[in-house]
Chains A and B, each alone.
Chain A
Amino acid sequence: MTTQSVGIANHRFAFGYYRQTFWNWLIGTAFFLGGLGAGLFVLALLTDHTAGMLVGYLIVVVGKNTAHLLFLGRPERFWRAAMRPDRSWIARGIWAMGLFAVSGLILLLPRVLGPAWQLSGWLNGAATAVAVLSAVVIMFYDGFVMNSSPGVAFWRTRLLPLLLLMYATLGGATLSLTIRELRGEAIPGFLPTLEHGLLVVNFVLLAVYLARMNRSLPAARETLRQWLSGPYARVFFGLVLLVGLLATLLLSVVQSHVQATGLVLLIAACELTGDFTLVMVLLKSGLFPRQTALAYSARGI
């Protein structure tokens, strides 16, 4: 009987890979909502769609922030997280969310409450620029937060912020289409095309990401194995790929020929399920390295 095989350590005195359990579903929810809301807000702003802007704004300001505050061990000190924007992506994210909350409100007030709340031309322009920039940062900064944590090798790639940015845009496009459909509003011609394109792009990006991880550190390769043939394979292939990308693409192609509100809701459910599952699997499947060194392993002890 050999005892050389190395698996997942179930406690800290055991040898093996250690599961990432520190960032849980609340952080996953915050990351998911941040990308989704910011993506929706940007697309709604670009297409002058007040309902989309409002929903996107609320998803970020209420949803994402609530999830973050619920997660923090000392939520009353949350403001301290903004202290080091020169070094920490968490701090940069806090600044982005603060700027987004203020600039988004400036843009929403005249649309919701009436033109009396409208700011002068250049102030409105500045608020628009700040809102778009901060929303874009919110769409991708979680990826930098994750990949600036060297403990989990599976997150250590610059592809992660790009992947989250593209998924945020996709989620925003899907939700934008859904809101317009539910409200019986006209759908800009580019939105369905954008959604189809992003579904293909995200599939390719995901494949590149996994290929990149195949050449990464052992802990990342072990996570990859768990995605492709281990405990996360069903969730990854079933929910992320099949439901989140393939079914969404097929249904949205059908939707472009057969207009049906139920179909739009189904597309949104599929896409958002895939989006949320991807974030959660990324978080939960992270592994810390074995407590060993290259030299130690090489000696076979």
Chain B
Amino acid sequence: MARYGMVIDLKRCIGCNSCTLACKQENGTPEGVHFARVVTREVGTYPATKRTFLPVLCNHCSDAPCAEACPTGATYIRADGIVMVDKGKCIGCRACNVACPYMNRHFVAKGLLTGYGTDGLTPYEAIKFLDFEEGTNIKCTLCAPRVDQGLEPACVITCPTDARVFGDVEDPNGKLQRLVKDRKGWTLSPEYNTKPNVWYLDE
């Protein structure tokens, strides 16, 4: 069984937030909830300043602290490494939110599923919001329904610069391992010992 993960090439990322929008469109997340987003930072001293972009999403950690902290077992890790939430088991204690050092868990507070507009839900929202339940937690599923059909996550296929590579992290001959090895890939906040399955390249 493959164990899925992703490599993000920061040298290719132009901070266009296409991944953010593709994720919103695919998952139909409520207002203010972004499973994928691009953290932007300005560095340097004027006039030699520049903006750097760090696209982030759930790291689908092998030692996922959110799954460890969940008292009900609602958060679980699939055999293919994707960290999921069973909304029917979630009690909304937010232990997973506090456990995730990457802030990639989202709580659906009361009133969040009323849609962006003022005239009730659009037909699109009405369908997409069926996946969510008030008072429970949601997160990036690495587009599990797409992956189950042999497709790549929406953020990967949308990226105009091919900055994202999706695949099996355990395949020794696979593209992911090769990229990580050749270009000295690194993960976010390794000091938290969560064994993330999203790597970054900047060499």
Interface set of A (CB-CB < 8 Å, partner B): 1-4, 12-15, 18, 20, 22-23, 71-75, 77-78, 80-84, 87-88, 90-91, 94, 145-146, 148-152, 217, 286, 288-289, 291-296, 299-301
Is B27 engaged at the interface, CB distance under 8 Å to the other chain?
A: no
Would A293 and B186 be within 8 Å (CB), given that A3-B45, A73-B91, A301-B43 are in contact? yes
Instruction: Enumerate chain A residues within 8 angstroms of B179, measured Cβ to Cβ.
Output: none
Instruction: Enumerate chain B residues within 8 angstroms of A87, measured Cβ to Cβ.
Output: 68
Q: Which of B5-23 contact A (CB under 8 A)?
A: 10
Q: Is B135 in contact with A22, judged by CB distance below 8 angstroms?
A: no
Would A150 and B135 be within 8 Å (CB), given that A3-B43, A20-B98, A83-B73 are in contact? no
Interface of A is mostly: loop
Q: Is B71 in contact with A83, judged by CB distance below 8 angstroms?
A: yes
Q: Is A72 in contact with B92, judged by CB distance below 8 angstroms?
A: yes
Instruction: Enumerate chain A residues within 8 angstroms of B44, measured Cβ to Cβ.
Output: 2-4
The residue among A15, A20, A73 with the most chain B CB atoms within 10 A of its own CB is: A73
- In-complex Cβ contact of B101 among A90, A91, A148, A289 (8 A): A289
Binary contact readout B127-153 vs A (1 if CB under 8 angstroms, 0 otherwise): 000000111110000000000000000
Instruction: Enumerate chain B residues within 8 angstroms of A296, measured Cβ to Cβ.
Output: 54, 186, 188, 200, 202
The 8 closest A-B pairs by CB, nearest first: A73-B92, A73-B135, A15-B41, A90-B71, A22-B97, A88-B71, A80-B72, A149-B98
Which single residue of chain A is at the shortest CB-CB distance from B101? A151
Q: Is B134 in contact with A149, judged by CB distance below 8 angstroms?
A: no
Total A-B contacts with CB atoms under 8 angstroms apart: 160
Would A292 and B54 be within 8 Å (CB), given that A22-B98, A150-B194 are in contact? yes
- In-complex Cβ contact of A293 among B45, B100, B200 (8 A): B200
Is B126 engaged at the interface, CB distance under 8 Å to the other chain?
A: no
Q: Is A145 in contact with B202, judged by CB distance below 8 angstroms?
A: no
Instruction: Enumerate chain A residues within 8 angstroms of B37, measured Cβ to Cβ.
Output: 12-13
User: Shortest Cβ distance from B150 into chain A, in angstroms?
Assistant: 31
Given contacts A72-B93, A149-B99, list 13 more A-B pairs with CB under 8 A.
A3-B43, A13-B37, A22-B97, A23-B94, A73-B134, A90-B69, A150-B193, A151-B100, A288-B101, A289-B101, A292-B189, A293-B188, A301-B52
Instruction: Enumerate chain A residues within 8 angstroms of B135, measured Cβ to Cβ.
Output: 72-74
Interface set of B (CB-CB < 8 Å, partner A): 10, 34, 37-46, 49, 52, 54, 56, 65, 68-74, 89-95, 97-103, 107-109, 133-137, 186-194, 200, 202
Q: Is A90 in contact with B54, judged by CB distance below 8 angstroms?
A: no
Instruction: Enumerate chain A residues within 8 angstroms of B190, measured Cβ to Cβ.
Output: 293-294
Which single residue of chain A is at the shortest CB-CB distance from B44? A3
Instruction: Enumerate chain B residues within 8 angstroms of A148, measured Cβ to Cβ.
Output: 68-69, 99
- In-complex Cβ contact of A295 among B45, B101, B186 (8 A): B186
User: Shortest Cβ distance from B13 into chain A, in angstroms?
Assistant: 12
Q: Is A1 in contact with B95, judged by CB distance below 8 angstroms?
A: no
Instruction: Enumerate chain A residues within 8 angstroms of B54, measured Cβ to Cβ.
Output: 15, 291-292, 296
Q: Is B103 in contact with A90, judged by CB distance below 8 angstroms?
A: no
Would A152 and B90 be within 8 Å (CB), given that A14-B39, A15-B40 are in contact? no
Which single residue of chain A is at the shortest CB-CB distance from B203? A299
Would A83 and B72 be within 8 Å (CB), given that A151-B98, A291-B102 are in contact? yes
